[in-house]
Amino acid sequence: MRFIVTGGGTGGHIYPALAIAGGLRRRYPGSSVVYIGTARGLEADIVPKSGLEFHTVRAVGIKRSLSLHNLKVPWETLAGYREARRLLRDIAPRAVVGTGGYVCGPVVLAAARMKIPTLVHEQNALPGVTNRWLARVVDRVAVTFEDALRYFPRRADVRLTGLPVREEVISTERHQAREKFSLREGEQLLLSFGGSQGARSLNRAVAGAVGWAAEQKGLRWLHVTGRSQHGEFMDMLAAAGSRGGNLPGNFTAVPYLYDMPEALAAADLVICRAGAATIAELTVRGVPAVLVPFPYATGNHQEHNARALHSRGAAEMIRDAELSAGTLVEMVGGLLADPDRLREMAAASRRLGRPRALDDIIDCIAEII
C-alpha cells in the first residue's frame, strides 16, 4: 500500500505532513509514503533528510499585489497539474493527503479528479486559500481549530482533529521537567520564545523587562532569543541600561532550546507567537500563555489563532504593534500574581488540547479508503 502526502513552502505545512506520514506507516506496516513538493520550497531540504521518497511538481501562488508574476500562474498551475497526474499514475497511491501550500493545489486536485481518496488538513483558525478551495473536491477535511469550521462549504465533510504534536511534548512529566531546570518548590518558570529564528519585537520587549524580572522573588525567566538574534538581544539589553547589560541570576537567555518539551512541561506561563504548531503544543500540555501574533503571517492567521484561545480563556493576547516592555510586564506580572487565574487558563487550555490528533487524522484517512 502506498500513500502520498503533499504540502510545502513553510515548516507549518511540512512538519504536519511528515507526522502524518509517520502515522500512516505505523498504522499500515509495510506501506510506503511518497512526498510531493516543489523544488524551491523548504520541503526540498527537509523531506529528503527524513528518508521519504521525494518528488517535485511546479506550483506557484498568486501575489496579493499587482504583479507581472501573476500572468504566469495559470500556465505554471496547469503544468504542475499535468506533472502531478503523471506521478499519481506511476505511484498509484491508496490516498493523497495535503497539508497546505500552493503545491497542494495541483496534486490534490489531480488525485480528486482521478477518484483517488483525498484529505486535506488545515492547521490554522483562518484556513488558507488553497485548502478552502480544495475543500470543494476532497473527500475529507481535517481542522485544528473549531473556529476554522465556518470557513468551509457546507457540503464539505469537515472533522475537528487537532494538529499532531511530538510525542515527547505529551509524555514529559512535569515534576521531572522541573527537576531538570533545578526549580525549587514554589518557584515560577516564565518561558518566552519567538521561534527558531527569534522575534525582534519580542526580544526588544523582553530586554526592557529584565530589570523588572531581577526584582521578582520566586521567579525564573527562560528566554529563547533565536539563533540569528542572540547577539542583537544582548545589545538590546545593554541599550536598555539593565544592570549594565548583564543578566540577573534568575534570568537565562539562550539562542536555541533543544529541551523545549521539558521547558513547556515545567513552565507556569509562556510568552510566544501564535503559530498553529506552537498552540497545539501549549494546549496539549495545558499551559497558560500570553500570545503575540506575528503580524505579517498570511491573512493575519496568527491573530485568528490567538483569538481562538483568548475567547475561550486559555490565553491573553498582545498585538505586536502594542508590545512593549511596559505592556508585557503589566500583563505578565498580573498573571503570575494570580495563581487562581493561571489555573483557570491552564484548565481552559487543556480542554482545547487534542493529544490524539494524529490518531484521529489517520482514522479519517482509514475511513475514506
Predicted confidence band of residue 101 (pLDDT cuts 50, 70, 90) = confident
pLDDT at position 55 is 97
The verdict on 176 and 77 lying in the same domain is no
Q: Which residue has the cell 509495510?
A: 30
Please compute the mean of the pLDDT values over residues 216-242 and round it to a whole number.
89
pLDDT at position 239 is 81
The verdict on 84 and 187 lying in the same domain is no
Q: For 14, list phi and psi in degrees, rounded to 5.
A: -75, -45
Three cell numbers, residue 115: 477518484
The verdict on 186 and 315 lying in the same domain is yes
The verdict on 238 and 182 lying in the same domain is yes
pLDDT at position 205 is 97
pLDDT at position 195 is 76
Query: What CATH number corresponds to the domain at position 78?
Result: 3.40.50.2000
> What pLDDT, in 10s, does the model give residues 30-78?
999 999 999 988 899 999 999 999 999 987 665 555 555 555 667 777 8
Whole-angstrom CA distances from 138 to 11, 17, 30, 112, 215 are: 23, 17, 26, 6, 56
Three cell numbers, residue 192: 518566552
The verdict on 190 and 50 lying in the same domain is no
Predicted confidence band of residue 11 (pLDDT cuts 50, 70, 90) = confident
The verdict on 142 and 238 lying in the same domain is no
Please compute the mean of the pLDDT values over residues 116-122 and round it to a whole number.
98
Rounded to a whole number of angstroms, the distance between the first and last alpha carbons of the chain is 11
Nearest residue to 200 via CA among 318, 300, 320, 317? 320
Burial class from Cβ neighbours inside 10 Å (0-12, 13-18, 19+) for residue 68 reads exposed
The verdict on 121 and 259 lying in the same domain is no
Domain that holds residue 134: 2-163+355-368
Angle in degrees, CA 63, 66, 72, rounded to 5: 60
pLDDT at position 245 is 58
Distance CA 74, CA 59 (A): 10
Domain count, the chain: 2
pLDDT at position 308 is 97
Distance CA 81, CA 128 (A): 19
Its pTM stands at 0.90
Three cell numbers, residue 325: 516592555
Predicted confidence band of residue 313 (pLDDT cuts 50, 70, 90) = very high
Decide if pLDDT at 139 tops 90: yes
Contact 263, 174 (CB under 8 A): no
Contact 88, 115 (CB under 8 A): no
Decide if pLDDT at 182 tops 60: yes
Distance CA 107, CA 102 (A): 9
The verdict on 348 and 359 lying in the same domain is no
pLDDT at position 61 is 61
Decide if pLDDT at 84 tops 80: yes
Please provide the average confidence, as pLDDT, over all residues in the chain.
93
The verdict on 10 and 123 lying in the same domain is yes
Q: What size, in residues, is the chain?
A: 369
The verdict on 113 and 175 lying in the same domain is no
pLDDT at position 254 is 95
Distance CA 344, CA 352 (A): 13
Predicted confidence band of residue 206 (pLDDT cuts 50, 70, 90) = very high
Angle in degrees, CA 169, 172, 178, rounded to 5: 115
The verdict on 66 and 11 lying in the same domain is yes
Distance CA 103, CA 95 (A): 16
Find the range with the poorest average confidence among 61-65, 99-103, 162-166: 61-65
The verdict on 41 and 107 lying in the same domain is yes
pLDDT at position 299 is 86
Half-sphere exposure of 41 (CA within 13 A, CB side): 29
Please compute the mean of the pLDDT values over residues 279-283 and round it to a whole number.
97
Tell me the percentage of the chain whose pLDDT exceeds 70.
95
> What pLDDT, in 10s, does the model give residues 211-225?
999 999 999 999 999
